Amino acid sequence: MTNSENGTRHDEGVEQKTETAGAADDTAAPGWGGGAAAADAERLAALETENAELKDRVLRAAADMENLRRRTEREIRDARQFAVAGFARDMLGVSDNLSRALQAVPAEVRDGADSGFKSLVEGVEMTARSMLSALESHGVRKLEPKGQRFDPNFHQAMFEVPNAEIPANTVVEVVQDGYAIGERVLRPALVGVSKGGPKAPVEPASAGADEATRDA
């Protein structure tokens, strides 16, 4: 075999190896591209999951902050009300004394009194009104129980009044005014309640609760 033939065969072998390597590269390329796409998809899914978790945490934190704000406002409001409650309760005693002093002066005595005495009575009345106005400005409100159904949370029954025409347990007379601050009772109203009359109608809310109990 001549050198020329050997060279030709060598060149053909090199070309065959090159083509084989190229074909192998062409075959491997699609597989490599598919693996990269799958990795990207997994990475994207992981990022979306992490984003959803972070969003949920932010929403929960915002809800917690809102609940904290409302609770703080309520506690501050309650603290203010309770702080003034003791003082307001003492002032109610002073207001009662002023009212008793005015009630002790008969109308005929007031009408026939001189200008100095009338001025004194008017001054006491103004003082009583100013005191109640100041208490109201701090959230103290007067209870108006007359004609309402007796409520042991706000009223204290002192006596019963027989009356067949008025529903039983209705407040018919107020002996001493009651006061509350917010939902806190400073002093229950001392009242007289009716007895012997028809039963008071059941309130709709109570009726609904009874029906729910029966259905259960």
pLDDT at site 85: 81
Q: What are phi and psi of 120, to 5 degrees?
A: -60, -45
pLDDT (tens digit per residue) in 162-199: 988 889 899 999 999 999 987 788 899 999 999 887 77
Which of the two residues, 127 and 205, has the higher pLDDT score? 127
Closest by CA position to 157, among listed 165, 149, 5, 134: 149
Closest by CA position to 147, among listed 207, 185, 192: 192
- Maximum Cα–Cα distance across the chain: 160
DSSP 52-111: HHHHHHHHHHHHHHHHHHHHHHHHHHHHHHHHHHHHHHHHHHHHHHHHHHHHTS-HHHHH
Which of the two residues, 176 and 14, has the higher pLDDT score? 176
CA 110 vs CA 96, 107, 120: distances in Å: 20, 5, 10
**Homologous superfamily of 142-216:** Head domain of nucleotide exchange factor GrpE (2.30.22.10)
pLDDT (tens digit per residue) in 105-157: 888 888 888 888 888 888 999 998 898 888 888 888 889 999 999 999 999 99
Question: DSSP H helical segments within the chain, as ranges?
Answer: 3-103, 107-112, 115-137, 204-215
Q: Which two tokens stand for residue 148?
A: 């309402």
CA angle 80, 85, 90 (to 5 degrees): 145
Residue 80 has pLDDT above 50, yes or no: yes
Tokens 């978790």 correspond to what residue?
53
Residue 7 has pLDDT above 90, yes or no: no
